[in-house]
């Protein structure tokens, strides 16, 4: 079951407080805490822990050694709200929300979301009244919010579909981003950072030795995943056989949970990874479910879950979600595990920035070693790698995201989105660190609109706070040691993973699958967009759409993926109107 919560601030709806509470009970919520002008309701099984200042933590909370907080009380030596927030973020981790009542002045409530973002949090407030919730549909059913699309925000999604911000596509509804704190008072709200990835790339935390980095990474990752396994008891792992998901699976060796794995096999070339997945499960002694991923199963117009506050999953992810949910139901599994985010946390950067970091951090000799590693990694000449690194050294900070205006009405294309809080790099930040921190911010999109996450917990263990912090402390150039990507992670788990997985350099590729989906369903997609809600609200260019669909697709052409993004937005918008 999914843990749900709703905080009602003031009296934002037409019903009385008593009526709202009674209707919430019919939705399966029960009262858990209250403060002056605010009430917390949760699903009955949602774990909570009280703090010394009268606050409450919702969700799963662990100490740094991996032990779980289960006694309903967080024992701290201070009652100061700010110190409690700081202590929680620095000494604990998990998937949680901390709610603290206002103690003096106009402050009504303070809400802090953990850095992993495992527990959803959206909110709307107006003059001191409103709500904070894990599921916007509950606020709608209770009359606390009337659904209304923010068409400008939706235009932002169309222009920057892979940029995460705190703005949702519902009018007046914001998302509290992971690692941030929300302050509510009678005048309105403001948001600030409680946790920043920049702290962990700084010298006090930074690793200097490859072997110690690998040792710490292995220990932290194993401890973190074992802690989660103690919560979930039965786990279905989405196992591609790639390095990241294989590490997640192998860290489940010896846990007390029931573990099974699923690998997806497309009917098209490029995505059959059974050889690697089977090697992992045979080593673990767990069952591997091999499931066919058919083109017919991919849906471009499937409505996203009612909790989605913006466009959701694309056709491939929709098909994968349906398979994972079907297997979980059949096998009686309680939770999903994925290696999502592994490429980012394990320093899989595609350019020359890591070599530039090595020059700046360690000087000429280390910089040249990093250049040679870069050349080996990308199969280019040392001269070419050195030239690209020099360009990174001379370049300015990371460029803002590029606008994508294909098939949009020219008047609907919007300017740059609100910056992510983590994009504010400290002075002197290395180019590689800038790139990986922005990449980490991008992983916050991974949970958005996934239907499987509305029925069973979806864990992304490699994005848990301890793993993120450890990986950030490992320099970008160290991840390319020996001309091998993610080399620290490979070394950390070399003794635990099958040799063919550790030495694997290829990655599963679903481009041909996606291309087949497009070719089979392009006529329906064209009509769907040309006669849709986005077009009627002047966000799309009807003539440009027609022209795009007339063009033949060249081999390895990825331009059709833009159509998938437009369909994601169209499917969500149709559900709202």
138 shares its domain with 57: yes
Report the alpha-carbon distance of residue 468 to residue 444 in Å, rounded: 13
- Asked whether the beta carbons of 262 and 223 are under 8 A apart, the reply is no
Q: In this predicted structure, what is the pLDDT of residue 13?
A: 66
- Asked whether the beta carbons of 191 and 448 are under 8 A apart, the reply is no
Q: In this predicted structure, what is the pLDDT of residue 532?
A: 96
267 shares its domain with 313: yes
Of 158, 180, 195, the residue at which a domain comes to its end is: 195
pLDDT tens digit sequence for 420-442: 999 999 999 999 999 999 999 99
Q: In this predicted structure, what is the pLDDT of residue 234?
A: 96
Q: In this predicted structure, what is the pLDDT of residue 395?
A: 76
The CATH number of whichever domain residue 272 belongs to comes to 3.40.50.620
Show the low-confidence residues of the chain (pLDDT under 70). Answer: 13-15, 103-107, 396-398
Helices (H) and strands (E) in the chain, counts: 20, 17
180 shares its domain with 212: no
Would you say residue 384 lies in a domain? Answer: no
- Asked whether the beta carbons of 178 and 156 are under 8 A apart, the reply is no
Backbone torsion region of residue 39, taken as left when φ is above 0, otherwise alpha when ψ lies between -120 and 50, otherwise beta: beta
3-state SS class at 282: helix
203 shares its domain with 189: no
13 shares its domain with 83: yes
537 shares its domain with 562: yes
Report the alpha-carbon distance of residue 494 to residue 487 in Å, rounded: 10
* Residue 288 tokens, joined: 């591997």
Q: Could you give the number of structural domains in the chain?
A: 3
Of 195, 222, 239, the residue at which a domain comes to its end is: 195
Of 174, 195, 216, the residue at which a domain comes to its end is: 195
518 shares its domain with 496: no
Write down how long the chain is: 577
pLDDT tens digit sequence for 34-90: 988 889 999 999 999 999 999 999 999 999 999 999 888 888 889 999 999 999 999
Domain that holds residue 516: 511-576
**Which residues are 39's β-sheet partners?**
8, 34
Closest CA to 433 of 484, 476, 488: 476
Backbone torsion region of residue 88, taken as left when φ is above 0, otherwise alpha when ψ lies between -120 and 50, otherwise beta: alpha
pLDDT tens digit sequence for 517-546: 999 999 999 999 999 999 999 999 999 999
What's the pTM value of the predicted model, to 2 decimals? 0.95
215 shares its domain with 320: yes
Q: In this predicted structure, what is the pLDDT of residue 338?
A: 96
Report the alpha-carbon distance of residue 21 to residue 30 in Å, rounded: 8
Would you say residue 559 lies in a domain? Answer: yes
Name the residue with tokens 């997609």.
Answer: 525
* Residue 97 tokens, joined: 């929300």
491 shares its domain with 527: no
């Amino acid at each position: 079951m999914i843990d749900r919560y709703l905080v009602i601030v003031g009296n934002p709806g037409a019903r009385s407080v008593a009526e709202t509470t009674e209707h919430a009970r019919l939705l399966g919520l029960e009262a858990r805490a209250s403060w002056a002008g605010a009430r917390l309701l949760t699903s009955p099984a949602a774990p909570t822990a009280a703090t010394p200042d009268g606050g409450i933590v919702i969700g799963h909370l662990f100490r740094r050694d991996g032990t779980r907080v289960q006694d309903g009380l967080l024992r701290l030596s201070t009652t100061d709200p700010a110190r409690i927030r700081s202590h929680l973020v620095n000494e604990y981790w998990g998937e949680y929300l901390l709610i603290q009542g206002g103690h003096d002045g106009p402050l009504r409530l303070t809400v802090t979301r953990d850095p992993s973002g495992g527990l959803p949090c959206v909110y709307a407030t107006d003059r001191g009244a409103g709500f904070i919730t894990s599921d916007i549909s509950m606020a709608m059913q209770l009359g606390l919010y009337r659904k209304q699309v923010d068409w400008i925000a939706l235009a932002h999604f169309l222009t920057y579909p892979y940029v995460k911000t705190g703005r949702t596509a519902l009018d007046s509804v914001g998302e509290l981003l992971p690692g941030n704190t929300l302050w509510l008072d009678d005048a309105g709200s403001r948001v600030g950072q409680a946790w920043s990835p920049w702290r962990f790339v700084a010298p006090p935390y930074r690793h200097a030795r490859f072997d110690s980095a690998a040792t710490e990474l292995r220990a932290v990752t194993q401890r973190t995943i074992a802690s989660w396994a103690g919560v979930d008891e039965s786990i279905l792992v989405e196992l591609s056989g790639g390095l990241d998901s294989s590490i997640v699976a192998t860290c489940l060796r010896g846990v007390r949970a029931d573990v099974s794995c699923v690998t997806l096999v497309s009917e098209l070339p490029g995505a059959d990874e059974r050889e690697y997945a089977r090697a992992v499960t045979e080593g673990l002694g767990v069952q591997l479910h091999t499931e066919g991923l058919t083109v017919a199963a991919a849906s471009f117009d499937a409505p996203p879950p009612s909790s989605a506050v913006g466009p959701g999953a694309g056709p491939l992810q929709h098909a994968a979600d349906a398979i994972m949910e079907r297997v979980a139901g059949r096998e009686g599994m309680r939770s999903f595990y994925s290696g999502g985010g592994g490429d980012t946390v394990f320093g899989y950067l595609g350019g020359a920035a890591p070599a530039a970091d090595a020059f700046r951090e360690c000087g000429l000799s280390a910089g040249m070693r990093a250049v040679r590693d870069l050349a080996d990694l990308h199969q280019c000449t040392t001269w070419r790698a050195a030239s690209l690194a020099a360009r990174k050294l001379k370049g300015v900070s990371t460029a803002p995201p590029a606008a994508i205006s294909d098939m949009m009405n020219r008047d609907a294309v919007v300017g740059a989105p609100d910056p992510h809080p983590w994009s504010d790099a400290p002075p002197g930040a290395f180019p590689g660190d800038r790139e990986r921190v922005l990449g980490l911010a991008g992983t916050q999109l991974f949970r958005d609109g996934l239907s499987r996450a509305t029925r069973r917990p979806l864990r992304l263990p490699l994005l848990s706070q301890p793993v993120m912090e450890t990986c950030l402390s490992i320099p970008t150039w160290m991840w390319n040691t020996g001309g091998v990507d993610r080399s620290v992670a490979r070394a950390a788990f070399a003794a635990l993973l099958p040799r063919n997985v550790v030495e694997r350099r290829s990655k599963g590729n679903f481009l041909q699958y996606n291309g087949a989906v497009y070719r089979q369903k392009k006529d329906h997609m064209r009509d769907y967009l040309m006669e849709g809600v986005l077009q009627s609200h002047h966000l799309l260019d009807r003539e440009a759409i027609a022209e795009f669909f007339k063009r033949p697709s060249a081999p390895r052409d990825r331009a059709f993926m833009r159509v998938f993004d437009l369909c994601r937005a169209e499917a969500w918008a149709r559900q709202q109107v």
